[in-house]
Structure 1
Amino acid sequence: MKKIPLLLLVVLLCACKKNNQEIAIDKNKTNASVNIDYKQEMRNFVIGISKYAKSTNPKFAVIPQNGIPLVTVDGESTSAPSTAYLNAIDGNGQEDLYYGYDNDDQATDSAVTNNLRGYLDISKANGKKILVTDYCSTPSNMTRSYQVNWANGYISFAADERDLNNIPTFPAKINNENANVITSLSQAKNFLYLILPEKFSSKADFIKAVTATNYDALIMDAYFEKVAFTSAEVNALKKKANGGKRIVISYMSIGEAENYRYYWQNTWKPGNPVWLDAENPKWKGNYKVKYWNKTWQNIIYGNDSSYLKRILNAGFDGVYLDIIDAFEYYEGNK
């Protein structure tokens, strides 16, 4: 057997030690990725958004849409409520509860409805407002949607367009219409969900159409064709036709990045930056994000150039957080 010089032996031993350390580090990185609690990371994200917004405006409403299992500690409807999360939010939005889960204008399977209601009622029992958006266009289905949701203690909107780009003409009278001055989400008895203003020729046209209605709450985009609504325009939108006032809430996606937003950079593509993930095949231009990444979170909130700060500066009364259920995508792709 050939003798290995002492110096060479030391070098080889050090190299082996280094390689083993690198393997261990890589293994730890893999395990860290696998062991991410995707539900809790989304809860933490929403809680951070809420703390930041309410430090500026304590009455600012924070409403996550979908992802309703987050209201319990482990995502099971039979488990204890997630107190920290529930304390951070003012309501929950839920799509397709009674219509639209599989197909628009088609009743949602009762098993799905009952499962979702188990979580929604936990939130409601903790004093949170429940806002349901059903996608249905047949008058009888729209009428039933309003009736059953109200009977459950939820306020609802029967959207006859999945794109949420119009003000429905049915029913002729808004469900639970009133002339009250609405100053908080808890007071609202109905809402209009209108986030894609493509059918309106201008901001002025959009404002005119909305102020001709008596909805208690308006969920809209903070931008009209990439131009932000000003605080004066948002204030104008708060006037109801009957003399009352409404609250105006801005839509904001936090589980996907959108390539038509002010923050988007032309060089971005999945994997660059590292937190940008696959494009949503159902919504072109929308990309999954590793929402627990601090760089992405800094785009959303926490500083003067963030998305949320722009919404606060424009005078919105709250924020409607979308793609909360992004945790399901990552749990399914571990």
Structure 2
Amino acid sequence: MRRTFLAALSPLLIFGCSLDDLPDDFNRSSRDYDEEMRYLVEDISAYAKGINRYFLIVPQNGIELITTTTTTTGPVDEDYVYATDGIAQEALFFGANGVVNEPTSESETERLQTYLDLAKDEGDTILITDFTNIVLDIDESYENNEQAGYISFAAEQVTLDDIPEYPDEPFNVNSRDIDGLNEASNFINITDPRDYSTPQAFVDALSETNYDILIIDFFFNGEPYTEEQIEQLKEKENGGRRLVLAYVNIGEAQDDRYYWRSFWYSNPPSWLLGEVPGEPGNYYVEYWQQGWQEIIFGNDDSYIFMIVDAGFDGAYMDGIDAFEYFDSSND
């Protein structure tokens, strides 16, 4: 735990040596990477809700953090779950290993659901993104998730770049005003608007849908949406009010983001590590370091501040499972 760790190092702190000043091998061998990610999510939540008490925090994947031991039999980490309004998970039933239409094994589905149900029992809304473009499997995904008490989206591609043609209307479509995650019956996860020529074209297309929740990237090709566009997105075609969440990766740096500096390729900051295999442009970060965290939250130039200030209803936070990389590399 954080207190124990700091207490053990207090002589070093007294003599003016900070944790980040310690050698990398000491830092990495001594850190609890699971706990550090929990702290990051909790700190982001406290910061964002300090600006807007109704701002929603939804971490995606890395659901092992729901228990203090990261095991299915461990106790719920109350601080972590309390800091979140929802928990998101990919490929619960379809899309195993990032492959569209690949069914997730029963054992893995059962394992994931054990964590998800712990969070649900604590009051969190569960958002599932499955990946399938087969009609029968789409129907099965929606039915299975509804039976489990989750809301879900069946994406046709892992790129999350289109509004599905099937079904014609969102699952359990309604015209209600949606003011909280727990009031929603469906959502769409569309964070890559590559098929749209302009931000307004993308906004107009989404405005013609009746999803209860929209999950989009904060930027369109590096350009933030206007306040008017965000307000337009908050109304369903049938007139009901809905929620709009902004995607942000808090566990990896991405070289197409506003914060990236060209010289980082040859002279990276201390917290920036190597490229993630199979994900060009994505880089591991030491997410516990102050330099990275200042990019993400805590000041008026930070990612989270911009999302809150722009009028989004919440942050849909990816990269939560980055702790797994550090856990495995330290074995």
Q: Same fold (TM over 0.5)?
A: yes
Q: 2:34 aligns with which of 29, 39, 48?
A: 39
- Residue by residue, what CA displacement relative to the aligned partner does 1:201-247 show, whole Å, maximum 9, x if unpaired? 11111111101000000000111110001221111101101110110
Corresponding position of 2:69: 74
Corresponding position of 1:186: 182
- Answer with 268-277 or 126-135: which moved more: 268-277
Residue correspondence of structure 1 range 124-273 to structure 2 within 5 A: 124-269=120-265, 272-273=268-269
Q: 1:116 aligns with which of 96, 105, 112?
A: 112
How far, CA to CA, are the matches of 1:264 and 1:215 in structure 2? 33
How far, CA to CA, are the matches of 2:181 and 2:226 in structure 1? 22
Q: Is the 2:59–2:87 Cα contact (8 Å) retained in structure 1?
A: yes
Report the CA distance between 1:269 and its aligned residue: 2.7
How far, CA to CA, are the matches of 2:41 and 2:79 in structure 1? 10
Q: Which amino acid letter does the alignment assign opposite residue 155 of structure 1?
A: I
Count of aligned residue pairs for this structure pair: 309
Q: Which amino acid letter does the alignment assign opposite residue 133 of structure 1?
A: T
Instruction: Indicate how the Cα distance of structure 1 residues 225 and 78 shifts in structure 2: closer, same or farther if over 3 A, else same.
Output: same
Report the CA distance between 1:30 and its aligned residue: 3.2
Residue correspondence of structure 1 range 307-322 to structure 2 within 5 A: 307-322=303-318
Report the CA distance between 1:28 and its aligned residue: 7.3
2:55 is equivalent to residue 60 of structure 1: yes
Instruction: Indicate how the Cα distance of structure 1 residues 85 and 169 shifts in structure 2: closer, same or farther if over 3 A, else same.
Output: same
The TM-score with structure 2 as length reference comes to 0.91
Query: How big is the alpha-carbon RMSD for the aligned residues of Structure 1 and Structure 2?
Result: 1.4
Q: Is the 1:271–1:277 Cα contact (8 Å) retained in structure 2?
A: no
Residue correspondence of structure 1 range 102-113 to structure 2 within 5 A: 102=97, 103-113=99-109
- Residue 248 of structure 1: SS of its match in structure 2? strand
Residue correspondence of structure 1 range 266-281 to structure 2 within 5 A: 266-269=262-265, 272-281=268-277
- Answer with 250-259 or 96-105: which moved more: 96-105
- Residue by residue, what CA displacement relative to the aligned partner does 1:248-302 show, whole Å, maximum 9, x if unpaired? 0000001110111110000003772111111122221111111011110000000
Q: Which amino acid letter does the alignment assign opposite residue 77 of structure 1?
A: T
Corresponding position of 2:3: none
- Answer with 298-307 or 223-232: which moved more: 223-232
Q: Which amino acid letter does the alignment assign opposite residue 111 of structure 1?
A: S
Query: Structure 1: any 5+ residue segments left out of the alignment?
Result: 1-25
Report the CA distance between 1:27 and its aligned residue: 9.5
- Residue 196 of structure 1: SS of its match in structure 2? coil
Residue identity (%):
41
Q: Which amino acid letter does the alignment assign opposite residue 67 of structure 1?
A: G
2:86 is equivalent to residue 91 of structure 1: yes
Instruction: Indicate how the Cα distance of structure 1 residues 75 and 205 shifts in structure 2: closer, same or farther if over 3 A, else same.
Output: same
Tell which structure's C-alpha radius of gyration is larger: 1
How far, CA to CA, are the matches of 2:267 and 2:33 in structure 1? 19
How far, CA to CA, are the matches of 1:270 and 1:253 in structure 2? 22
Q: Which amino acid letter does the alignment assign opposite residue 302 of structure 1?
A: G
2:288 is equivalent to residue 292 of structure 1: yes
